[in-house]
Amino acid sequence: MDRSYAVEIVYRGIFQKTLAKHISRGLVLAAAKEGKTGISFGRYGDSPERNGIPAKNFAIIAPDEETLEESMSQYEPKRVDVTVSVDDTLCKGVESWAWYGLQPINRLLNPGGKLVVTSMLGFDDLFKMIHTKDVPYELAIVRGIPSFSGLWVYKDDHTDVRILGTIARLVPEMLSLKAVEAAILEEWKDELKMLSARKAYERVESVVVPPGEGNAETPYEFTLPGWKEMPEGVTIQSIQMGGAIVDPETGTLGGYRPAVNPYFKKFSTRTMRPVVDFDTCIKCTLCWLQCPDSCFDVTPDGLYDARMESCCGCGVCEAVCPVDNCVVMVNEAEFTDNASQWEMWKADKAGYKAWVAEKIQHRPERSHGFRLRGLYQEQIKAMAAVGITKSGEEKVGGEDTTEASAGGS
């Protein structure tokens, strides 16, 4: 190893923070077992690790301190050798508060780099989300449902060590399986986790992706004005105050809709959105109070309308709503715009009721977070019942269930 290697771990803030930290730290610990040096760190603080918002951890591995210092002389790696996506829904691209628009998940990969994704999907399904790249790279799948090993509660399902074993197979010049196993035994003191890393190493599924393969859509982007373009006498133009809302049915002016930032739109990486049944809403205010992004506008009739351009799909509103099926998180693929649901309801209440009934049939198993207590345990049982063969075919009730059931503790 005569150069440094950079790895980025992309995860959903809070829900997968601890998981990402374990992976980046594990890489550095494993490298140290081979006499190398390294550092792991998160992104700079202007990218808050909020519920569901994409965030990043990095690890840099180098043969010596001088090479490491050279690599660390920049804000964060501009090019990486490995990108890890611990939630396959992030394959559609990532947008954080520190970035300008939707950025492809493979954007930073060097030619021939490795994209590692935790997923139960096949390569063709992932290619529908992953944007095209003009250089070849390798896509590898770590079989499993997304792991929500978060900030407050850590659920140990071995995703961290399975990813470490996969990276050792894909980039042996960076670190070896032997080093990964030694680091696991020292850090976690768990032979079963070491076995999970070894099995992941043996079962790697990967394909070389040629230039132009994948989603050819142009990602949402914009350019912020530079300092030379700012109006005279103004440093940063502030967001305007909000105002009252006009009721399209009665013409009444009331409620309040705050103004929003015209540039930063967190909906682009959303995988779920709330659907609100206004007929069953009891006006308890909990969704409005608890929404981390203040997405709910207060309507003239005292209801709460989710402003979809500001919604990241974290699911907090569904979790706090005391009325069954009043707020339901629905698969984002079922929608084509960010139109106001309240305005739809005001225009045609009977039609909206039927629309809600149809949409909530598309409630996903979960793309991040949990909607009920005990859901994690249910998922572990589902994974334990499915053995994944080396070719990626599902084999129910077979002999290859050891790895999947390893996280059932």
- Domain borders along the chain are 5-209, 239-362
Across all residues in the chain, what is the average pLDDT? 85
Residue 101 is classified by DSSP as B
Q: What is the pLDDT of residue 372?
A: 66
Would you state the CATH architecture of domain 239-362?
A: 2-Layer Sandwich (3.30)
Residue 150 pLDDT class (50, 70, 90 cuts): confident
Residue 366 is classified by DSSP as -
State yes or no: pLDDT of 39 exceeds 80. yes
CATH number of the domain located at residue range(s) 5-209 in this protein = 3.40.920.10
Q: What is the pLDDT of residue 207?
A: 98
Confirm whether 5-209 and 239-362 share one CATH topology. Answer: no
Q: What is the pLDDT of residue 399?
A: 37
Distances, alpha carbon 36 to alpha carbons 9, 60, 70, 149, 180, in Å: 20, 11, 15, 28, 13
How many residues are listed for the chain in this entry?
A: 409
Model confidence over 74-101: pLDDT tens digits? 667 889 999 999 999 899 888 765 566 7
Average pLDDT (404-408) is: 33
What type of residue sits at position 136?
P
Q: Which of 332, 253, 327 is nearest to 290 (CA)?
A: 327
Residue 87 is classified by DSSP as S
Model confidence over 279-299: pLDDT tens digits? 999 999 999 999 988 899 999
Model confidence over 376-387: pLDDT tens digits? 677 777 666 655
Average pLDDT (30-49) is: 82
Q: Which of 199, 172, 173, 170 is nearest to 184 (CA)?
A: 199
Beta bridge partners of 38: 61
Q: What is the pLDDT of residue 265?
A: 66
pTM here is 0.80
**If you average pLDDT over each of 66-70, 176-180, 255-259, which comes out highest?**
176-180
